[in-house]
Amino acid sequence: MLQPLFTPSVQHTLDVIGIFVFAISGALLAVRKNFDVFGIAVLAEVTALGGGLFRDVVIGAVPPAAFTDLGYFITPLFAALLVIFLHPHVERIQVGVNVFDAAGLGLFCVTGTTKAFAYGLNLTASAALGLATAVGGGVLRDVLANEVPSLLRWDRDLYAVPAIVGACIVVLCIHYDALTPFTSGVAVVVAFVLRLLAMRYHWRAPRAWNRRSTVTEE
């Protein structure tokens, strides 16, 4: 039996905070793309809830939490409203938003992995869904905004890798029967710190060996 990382009330609060920050990033991209208010709201919702929605559908946790908890659904709309009226001010605190986004990444890769395993998936599939929970919303955001998803671009700081590391720590702990609230917290912190270091030092994944592409680098 897996032990929960936090009490239900604390977990819900952290989920809402993570959803809010992810929604902010989606809404800001929509503003940069000159979307209307509906487009801003849609991109905020998709970014915030897309990863968790995908996970819940795959593991059979239906209806997904995004549709059974009104707070999960309303929070991105509030974030979108905030960005619509205050986006110049939000842009100025982008560094702070990125820090909270990194925290959400760490939290969601761990909770996504543990939830997938609790629903009967094997360790590899659980880690994959932990990654999907953390980065899935960002991928959908970029696709809807007609951009190459950030986690696939060589010129973006590592994003998926910290989530993969966090998810792998969780499945290793499960395998060795060592998953506790403490070790789960360690996984969250490791993913969070790796993402912060990647942003600070611009760590990027290597490209193909002896690359001979004609694509113009951005």
Q: Which strand (E) or helix (H) includes residue 91?
A: helix 70-92
Which parts of the chain have pLDDT scores under 70? 1-6, 212-218
Judge whether 75 lies within some domain. Answer: yes
> The tokens 């946790």 sit on which residue?
61
Judge whether 99 lies within some domain. Answer: yes
Judge whether 3 lies within some domain. Answer: no
Between CA 59 and CA 54 the distance in angstroms is 9
Say what the pLDDT of residue 178 is.
94
Judge whether 26 lies within some domain. Answer: yes
- Longest Cα–Cα distance of the chain, Å, equals 53
Within a 10 A sphere around the Cβ of 136, how many other Cβ atoms?
A: 22
Read off the tokens for 160.
């998926």
Say what the pLDDT of residue 58 is.
96
pLDDT in tens, 19-31: 998 999 899 999 9
Judge whether 213 lies within some domain. Answer: no
**pTM higher than the cut 0.85:** yes
Total domains in the fold of the chain:
1
Between CA 159 and CA 124 the distance in angstroms is 19
Say what the pLDDT of residue 155 is.
86
State the first-to-last Cα distance of the chain, in angstroms, to the nearest integer.
Answer: 48
Say what the pLDDT of residue 100 is.
84
pLDDT in tens, 168-202: 999 999 999 999 989 999 999 999 999 999 999 99
Say what the pLDDT of residue 150 is.
87
Say what the pLDDT of residue 217 is.
52
Say what the pLDDT of residue 148 is.
92
Within a 10 A sphere around the Cβ of 99, how many other Cβ atoms?
A: 16
Judge whether 210 lies within some domain. Answer: no
Domain extent at residue 41:
8-201
Judge whether 61 lies within some domain. Answer: yes
Judge whether 134 lies within some domain. Answer: yes
